[in-house]
A and B are shown apart, each in its own frame.
Chain A
């Protein structure tokens, strides 16, 4: 592979080196080091493409790995730099060109090739983790592993198997029927947050939608793409598209695909681009991507103005803070809808966090791979959350939910962490 293919050179040229992205970058915030900033990373990529830097130089891969791919830099970049795409390309090309140590390759193989692609394996892994948690082994094991094990030690409690069941293939609308939608069940989602999936379906049925799910796809491939496993990501993309196409047989109305995980949603909205070079799939992929909607994006405009949302509680107002998942605000540009929905719930006072658009450090599997940095990224947000006196953190992405749960637990906070679908479901009378 020549140097030029290691990076998407044309895209790096969009950067005019203005530096406006520096302050938003969590890794620059942590280190103050420009090679850990978006502008710095782009400069490194350019240097590789121009033959001034050897990509096998360990520092290069290290800077690519250190990035959370939160894409905050994209939201503030006036030149329209597409950092996420550049990063996917650079990581994937680097993985192909430079052989990682055997141990890393083994872990990646297990994770990406085996676990994420099989419901069976996912269920077993989570089952085992729960047993280890209940038996008190996991925290001990995690601590024994040192820094790398912190992720395990502070993993939120894995729900009992009764809660880790899958959604029904079909759930009928409970009110006057408005249409049919499909819901992405996800890979890790049913294991960790089956209740969020059920809340999602429940809200949709209460709004008058029949809900379909498919068991033929497990993982949409978002995690693979973000970590530079582009070939596998394409394979999983094709499987996902095919599975959802089957839900809307020719002649029937094409159901929109509602996604309650911001990371998956952002990725699925871009499958058209991922498969653009594949003549057999490019069109199908684009058609599919156009059908994908985020949960809030779908619900906000369809909630009748007359519909009251009431959160029954202690009688006191619940102070909630909404934390924008990176792949919802920066990846999909969705900021208003979740807030509109929360503002309609009676019994809830919404308070803004100034840092709501900065990354919480979850970033897919980042929190597992680099627990120390991940927690350092969350730290200032935990402080702000406490300072504004919020009692409940609302998110729209499972990774963030996990990250906040373990982060708040570490500081002994009693605040709850919920997905916006859960709160809406509670507030929406049947």
Chain B
């Protein structure tokens, strides 16, 4: 349904002239999120400054029956924040205030638009940090992290976003406000917060988030193990897991990724002649760290590492991580566009599945780089392409689907941390049957009976049988 003139005026009155963007140019800038393959301009963009403004806007949109998509920084990689036709976009870019910082009870209450890294910087002086550290942390918002249940390298130890959200204020589809902002350390009754985290904007718009803050460890050591083969790095990871050695992060970068990073502003000093590097961080007491470092070094060497070295200074440590975190973007140097797949596999089978993904890309004549959260078994095959070449785009999409099917069949999952969004919506059928999906739909409709929030995302629109018919991968479905 189109938005009436009266509603537009009402929105401008509520949010002020700067809170409403409806010029063709203004809307054009919101066509895509980090998944640039898909674009769709929104009908209107709304920029509320607080919960009340957001709720007011939502009521107006509800009375007009207009669909609503929530947006943080639009760094999502699965099209979660891509607008829908004729729909409104509610962006949190003007909700950037820290509302409360409690260093004793170690939590913070922030507006949803606060940028991840700002939160961590803000509590640094108190010896605290916000643990989930997506590689996009310099831009992505806490609200977006909640939407996607985002992870990051250090979530190997600390767990993804859902483990760090203690409270939420949610504006629901009808404009009502659900205030769950009191920190909850144990869910009582139905776990509404747990349900909301990772719901990709389909259940409501979070306007405030109460997050757990974590104490900085006494000691940190970052190790870089250099391997003459990608296999070796994968094997070393599987061994570390099997031996129950628990560093806080285990990441792998392959040769192509290293080359791209070293050519970018995030140059980190990774050896360019290595086939792969393993980046490992150990945290804890001095004693724990020393013992982890010994174990990691021993295992890496046993799997053929030619060199294992520690970051000599805090600035070198930061550089090694900045390089890892800049890796996706740096791949942009290789081709105009980049498709970042995001799948999980059993960590005992890393080597084999990494090989398989490489084979799939090779078969289709595509360039694939591997940079991933090895400790979590979260693969990110990065395929570079040029969107102006429709044939190549098609091959990329097929490769993406095949990779997902492969990992699901091997006992892994569709998404590690980037969410389902538009990109993987139909692949949900690889993992879930119609009954599962019906149960999820019931949850969604309990929150949003009209299904106006982020419609067409997360859950397949049609039944799975039809969706499978559309592009059935040759592998059987996971369950």
Q: Which of A's residues lie within 8 Å of B, judged by CB?
A: 13-24, 28, 31-35, 37, 39-40, 43-44, 47, 52-53, 57, 59-60, 63, 74-80, 354
CB contacts under 8 Å to A, within B276-332, are 326-332
Q: Is the CB of A23 within 8 A of B115?
A: yes
Contact sample, A vs B, 21 pairs, CB 8 Å cutoff? A17-B36, A18-B328, A19-B33, A20-B138, A20-B329, A23-B118, A32-B91, A33-B45, A33-B93, A34-B45, A34-B74, A35-B25, A35-B26, A40-B29, A44-B28, A47-B28, A57-B24, A59-B23, A74-B265, A78-B265, A78-B330
Q: Is B121 an interface residue (CB 8 A)?
A: yes
Q: Is the CB of A19 within 8 A of B75?
A: yes
A16 to B24, CA, bound (A): 22
Q: Is the CB of A44 within 8 A of B332?
A: no
Contact of A79 with B332 at beta-carbon distance under 8 Å, contacts A16-B36, A17-B34 already known: yes
Q: Is B367 an interface residue (CB 8 A)?
A: no
B262 CB to nearest A CB, Å:
12
B-side interface size class: 35 or more
B291 CB to nearest A CB, Å:
35
A31, A37, A77: the one contacting B329 at CB < 8 Å is: A77
Q: Is the CB of A19 within 8 A of B74?
A: yes
Q: Is the CB of B26 within 8 A of A22?
A: no
A16 to B382, CA, bound (A): 13
Contact of A28 with B139 at beta-carbon distance under 8 Å, contacts A14-B336, A18-B329, A44-B28 already known: no
Q: Which of B's residues lie within 8 Å of A, judged by CB?
A: 18, 21, 23-26, 28-34, 36, 45, 47, 73-75, 91, 93-94, 113, 115, 117-118, 121, 136, 138-140, 263-266, 326-333, 336-338
Q: Is the CB of A19 within 8 A of B136?
A: yes
Contact of A44 with B136 at beta-carbon distance under 8 Å, contacts A13-B336, A14-B336, A20-B75 already known: no
Which of the listed residues A23, A43, A53 has the most CB atoms from chain B within 10 Å of its own CB?
A23
Q: Is the CB of A23 within 8 A of B28?
A: no
Q: Is the CB of A78 within 8 A of B326?
A: yes
A74 to B74, CA, bound (A): 19
A78 to B30, CA, bound (A): 21
A17 to B330, CA, bound (A): 12
Q: Is the CB of B29 within 8 A of A78?
A: no
Which of the listed residues B34, B75, B140, B329 has the most CB atoms from chain A within 10 Å of its own CB?
B329
Q: Which residues of A contact B31 (CB under 8 A)?
A: 43
Given pairs A19-B34, A19-B140, A80-B265, 17 additional interface contacts (CB within 8 A): A18-B329, A19-B75, A20-B138, A20-B139, A33-B47, A33-B93, A34-B45, A34-B74, A35-B28, A37-B29, A39-B29, A44-B28, A44-B29, A60-B25, A78-B332, A79-B333, A80-B263
Q: Is the CB of B75 within 8 A of A18?
A: yes
Q: Which residues of A contact B118 (CB under 8 A)?
A: 23
> Which 8 pairs of residues, A with B, have the shortest CB-CB distance?
A78-B329, A79-B332, A32-B93, A40-B29, A59-B25, A35-B29, A16-B332, A32-B94
A216 CB to nearest B CB, Å:
37
B29, B34, B115, B336: the one contacting A18 at CB < 8 Å is: B34
Taking CB as reference atom, which chain B residue is nearest A28?
B93
Q: Which residues of B contact A18 (CB under 8 A)?
A: 34, 75, 136, 328-329, 332
A80 to B336, CA, bound (A): 11
B47 CB to nearest A CB, Å:
5
Q: Is the CB of A21 within 8 A of B139?
A: yes
Q: Which residues of A contact B264 (CB under 8 A)?
A: 78-80
Chain B contact surface mostly: loop
Q: Which residues of A contact B30 (CB under 8 A)?
A: 34
Q: Is the CB of A34 within 8 A of B332?
A: no
B25, B28, B328, B337: the one contacting A78 at CB < 8 Å is: B328
A73 to B338, CA, bound (A): 19
A13 to B336, CA, bound (A): 5
Taking CB as reference atom, which chain B residue is nearest A37?
B29
A286 to B91, CA, bound (A): 45
A3 CB to nearest B CB, Å:
15
A14 to B140, CA, bound (A): 21
Q: Which residues of B contact A28 (CB under 8 A)?
A: 93
Q: Which residues of B contact A16 (CB under 8 A)?
A: 36, 328-329, 331-332, 336-338
Q: Which residues of B contact A63 (CB under 8 A)?
A: 25
A75 to B267, CA, bound (A): 12
Q: Is the CB of A23 within 8 A of B73?
A: yes
Contact of A22 with B47 at beta-carbon distance under 8 Å, contacts A32-B94, A40-B29, A78-B332 already known: no
Q: Is the CB of A15 within 8 A of B25?
A: no
A392 to B117, CA, bound (A): 28
B336 CB to nearest A CB, Å:
4
A130 to B364, CA, bound (A): 70
Q: Is the CB of A354 within 8 A of B121?
A: yes
A38 CB to nearest B CB, Å:
11
Taking CB as reference atom, which chain B residue is nearest A17?
B36
Q: Which residues of A contact B328 (CB under 8 A)?
A: 16, 18, 78
Q: Which residues of A contact B327 (CB under 8 A)?
A: 78
Q: Which residues of A contact B136 (CB under 8 A)?
A: 18-20
Q: Which residues of A contact B332 (CB under 8 A)?
A: 14-16, 18, 78-80
A193 to B263, CA, bound (A): 39
Q: Which residues of B contact A31 (CB under 8 A)?
A: 18
Taking CB as reference atom, which chain B residue is nearest A47?
B28
Q: Which residues of B contact A43 (CB under 8 A)?
A: 28-29, 31
